[in-house]
Structure 1
Amino acid sequence: MGSSDEKTDLQTPLILISGQEYDLDSKGKFTKDEILTEAKKQIFLAGPMMFVNLLMSLVQTISVMFVGHVGELALSGASMATSFASVTGFSLLVGMACALDTYCGQAYGAKQYHMLGVHMQRAMLVLLLVSIPLACIWATAGDILQILGQDRAIAVEAGIYARYMIPSIFPFALLQCQFRFLQTQNNVVPMMLTSGFTTLFHIPICWLLITKFGLGSKGAALANGISYWTNDVFLALYIVFSPSCKATWTGFSKEAVHNVSKFVWLAVPSAVMVCLEIWSYEIMVIVSGLLPNPTLETSVLSISVRVANELGAGRPKGARLAVFMATFMVAIESVVAVVVIILGRNIWGYCFSSEEDVVSYVSQMMLLIAVTNLADGVLSVLNGVARGCGWQKIGAIVNLASFYIIGIPLGVVLAFVLHLGGKGLWTGIIAAVFAQTIFLSIITIRTNWEAEVKFSC
């Protein structure tokens, strides 16, 4: 049986911003001071988290960029392996860790601070256990990709890269738990600093392993694990020794092994909601390996996915004012991102490859990514609202319909029937993103925030 504190913490509201509840009156007009206060809260919370997410995605992106200058086949293999790892491992761990947004957030709001450490330990235990079978899947990635009909040369290269990425899955799992432990306390600056250092540290590590030690793409894969472990160690030291975590981290506790099933019960739908969206992008990269000239198509589509991920927005959540302010700010960010994408469309390709055909194809794909980003920014806010309000099941249904009933089938038809290649696959992604945005917008606009907060209470 769990402690009485743990039972109580599950009864606290889900909708929390900076540890405070919103006014139940959702129909009143907002004052200038309220708007400015909300804007400051989101800038100081979502801003650093946006950079943390960006820096985390850069670790794998930098590795792929280094591999791209080893050769086109190496780039295709690393791209395929990175997508495979995302579909079969990283996305699942990210989704399951999202359960801590609820549990740690509720514990912090109820001022049951020691429970944050208990929830984090429980999540770490579950995610590490889940990582073991995932590592076994990665070990056989090459064979699985060949069974799925991928080009043999690319599949073999991807299998080697995936095996050398296995040491990265365990620190990645721990890192997701640490992030959410700190984020729910609004303690996000340390994550930004450690992630920034880790990303900078990752560059010379890749160079040493790939160039000086002559490991090629294997060195890039190993560098991921080294960087994740480095970030883990820094955050662990901060959590243990920082006065700001004194109340929330009280040491290892036997409570962490209690109510594991309750954590899993919430972690599974959270994982489904996150995975359905992430998988759709990575599935497109894997499917691109079935196109004519698979080496070029896989390389370019993977680069497109990485660039789109890097320019993605944060994960704000909350009630009506938070939604309006988050949408407004992320819309501005999306416009800036679109300008960056368009102006730099002839440059992005050189970051990943020196092959002219790759660079030229990437330049064309950047225009499609710019269109995607217009809706993707607002979509990130709507997904955050869904998680904040506990709509994981609704979000999973919307993602399933948008990507797997509309997006992927449309992309496959355009790519293989109408012979549009990678452009056709990405057009399917655009359709899915806009469909998802429309569905979630309707749900959010029709939400009665007063009833939502009362229900959450």
Structure 2
Amino acid sequence: MEHTYPVETGNLLSLQAEHDLAMLEYGTVATSSSTRLPSNTDSADIDPEAYLQWTHVKNELVWLIRSATPIVISSTSQLLIMVPLLAAVGRLGTVALASMNLAGLYAGLCGVTPLAGIAMALDTFCSQSFTATKDKRILGVLLQRALLIGLAIMTLIYPLWWYSKYVFEMFGVPEEVAEVTGRLLRIYFFGIALLISYEFLRSFLFAQGIRKFALIAQSIGLAVGWTLTWLLVGNPSTSVGIIGVAFVVLGVAGTFSAVTIFYIAKVDGYQCWGGWSRAALRDWMPLLKLSVAGAIVSFLETLSVSSIDLASMFMGAQTMAAQAVLSMLMTSTWVMGTGFSVAACNRVGNHLGSGLPNRAKLAVLAATLLSAIAFGALALVFICYRTSLPYIFSEDGEVIEILATHIPWAAIAGAMQGINMALNGVLRGQGRQKMIAQIRFLSFVLVGVPVSVLAIFVFKWMLAGLWLGLVVCLATVLAIQINVIMTTDWAKEVIACQKRVTATVNTSHEVDAVLDNGENAEPLL
């Protein structure tokens, strides 16, 4: 096991008198004399004049690298599944490649987007509650609420997936592409549902400082993904065509979830489960509010890239096929950025829950610096190999030429998006999803869209014009987020965190009775 619960320590920093932070016992919030910290949180704050010293910065960078690396590696394994899958589908023809790209676009807007907001909210509540409350089993109640909310939303949106063919036809998608994508999405939906459930489980475990499970789950999922890709898509004698993509996603997502549940039940993380609780059936509103803001963020992030995918459908089959590859390159940044985002969110949330504002500021500095180095290097790799990468995904000369020209745009956009995701994690750790949504909306509507329109209709840049709009949009987001974080009053954020956790625990009137009564708690497996 990589994680144990340390003994109780008196560690909450006494803030300045004007903030007058009151720490309460569980039933509200843990007192300074009874708060137990996870193993990834230091026991005392740093002097506000000394937190920028290189010793502190170095230690925080080392922690962030050790914490984010398993998440990045595990998330990258999804990319290692998608690359051969995309290559295999590319051999099935332009229609198959376009259908896969359209399915991914639709899944992002009509599946991942409304559900990802719940995972973002769960990151905030779990990371803050784990260090702010005495009884850690409140995390199990939060996880159950997230799963129930997710189930309700999935039930409501499935008709949009079943009849997606008619949605595509309304938007003028070629009939053959609409037909193939519609059939694909009817099965693809269940893979996305399992994948989101896995994200909820990850939030539950990451908040506790448990990360080893991700490497195990993703390694097994990678083997399953490669095997299914070869059997169902790549091998001519066993291939079921483009529909095999849905079964690959379903098999991989199911593996992720099953392995993670087994890990919680038999290895680690069960300490915060506490059994099924009736408290999970009530008091959804705090989680829902952050979930809505998170869903808006996810929607705008997806839309900023998906708008290029949508517009490319009217620029010819070759352009649409090339854009499928460019989207995959952006997805690689998104996947890697998840590691930095989750690590930063949990680090900041843990520190705020423990009442350590200066350590939270230090975590922000480390996350920004490390993400800038990592994603800047990734962008350089894409740019340097822009003429050779296209041959991996297509044999069409026109598609290869389009890719060689536009990969630098995707590389620059990806670097900025990666840094933005790390900063998103910082803001989520504070519970400021609404702020992220406002920044994304204003940057996309007031900056990104006008720049794209100008570039396309005035300069006639076409696909490059669409990418220019995205680059300028992401640069605007980056500038605003940096300004917001630099002007944050971290002592006030500690107070806001304590109030949020207090409200969460106090509104669950049944939690004490259910969780403190061992015979009423059902085992996980």
Give the TM-score, by structure 1 length.
0.91
Mapped partners of 1:6, 1:302: distance in 2: 51
- Equivalent residue, structure 1, for 2:115: 93
1:21 and 1:248 map into 2 onto residues whose CA distance is 21
Q: Between Structure 1 and Structure 2, how many residues are aligned? A: 449
**Correspondence 1:53 to 2:75:** yes
Residues 34-88 of structure 1: CA distance to partner in whole angstroms, max 9, x if unpaired? 2232122211222222223322355445433321111011101111111111111
Indicate which of 274, 296, 317 corresponds to 1:250: 274
* CA distance 1:62–1:350, shift in 2 (3 Å): same
Q: 1:57 to 1:151 in 2, by over 3 A?
A: same
Is 1:115 the counterpart of 2:156? The answer is: no
Tell me how far apart the structure 1 counterparts of residues 247 and 457 of structure 2 sit (CA, whole Å). 35
Question: 2:321 — aligned with what?
Answer: 299
Deviation readout 1:108-135 (Å, 9 max, x if unpaired) = 1124221212211221111122112322
What's 1:77 paired with? Answer: 99
Whole-angstrom CA distance in 1 between matches of 2:364 and 2:128: 20
Query: Is the contact made by 2:308 and 2:466 (CA closer than 8 Å) also made in structure 1?
Result: yes
1:344 matched to 2:385: yes
Q: Which amino acid is 2:327 matched to?
A: V
Whether the 8 Å CA contact 1:74–1:217 is kept in 2: the answer is yes
State the match for 1:426 in structure 2: 467
CA contact (8 A) 1:198 1:230 kept: yes
Note if 1:227 corresponds to 2:252: yes
Consecutive unaligned residues in structure 1, runs of 5 or more:
none
Match of 1:155 among 159, 178, 194: 178
Task: Within 5 Å, give how 1:23-422 maps onto structure 2.
Answer: 23=45, 26-109=48-131, 110-210=133-233, 211=235, 212-242=237-267, 244-291=268-315, 293=316, 295-312=317-334, 313=337, 314-315=340-341, 316-317=344-345, 318=348, 319-416=360-457, 418-422=459-463
Q: Which residue of 1 aligns with 2:517?
A: none
> What is the rounded CA distance, in whole Å, between the counterparts of 2:265 and 2:323 in structure 1?
42
Contact 1:402 1:432 in 2 (8 A): yes
- CA shift in 2, pair 1:263/1:377, >3 Å: closer
> Sequence identity, in percent?
23
> For residue 184 of structure 1, what is the amino acid of its counterpart?
A
8 Å CA contact 1:108–1:184 kept in 2: the answer is: yes
CA separation of 1:219 and 1:377: change in aligned 2, threshold 3 A: closer
Report the secondary structure of 2:135's partner residue: coil
Distance apart, 1:398 and its partner CA = 0.6
| Contact 2:413–2:471 (8 Å) recurs in 1 | yes
Q: What is the match of residue 476 of structure 2?
A: 435
For 1:387 and 1:421, locate their aligned partners in 2 and report how far apart those are by CA, in whole Å.
35
Task: Give the unaligned 5+ runs of structure 2.
Answer: 1-24, 349-359, 499-525
Distance 2:80 2:44 in 1: 35
Offset of residue 226 of structure 1: 1.0
Cα offset, 1:5, TM superposition = 5.1
Deviation at 1:22, TM superposition (A): 7.1
Does the aligned pair in 2 maintain the 1:78–1:157 contact within 8 Å? no
Using structure 2 for the length normalisation, give the TM-score: 0.79
Question: 1:26·1:320 contact (CA, 8 Å) conserved in 2?
Answer: no
* Cα deviation, residue 20, structure 1: 5.1
Contact 1:206 1:223 in 2 (8 A): yes
SS at match of 1:250: coil
**What is the rounded CA distance, in whole Å, between the counterparts of 2:207 and 2:60 in structure 1?**
17
Deviation at 1:218, TM superposition (A): 0.3
Partner of 2:510: none
Do the aligned residues in 1 keep the contact of 2:26 with 2:134 (CA within 8 Å)? no
1-side partners of 2:277 and 2:147: how far apart? Answer: 13
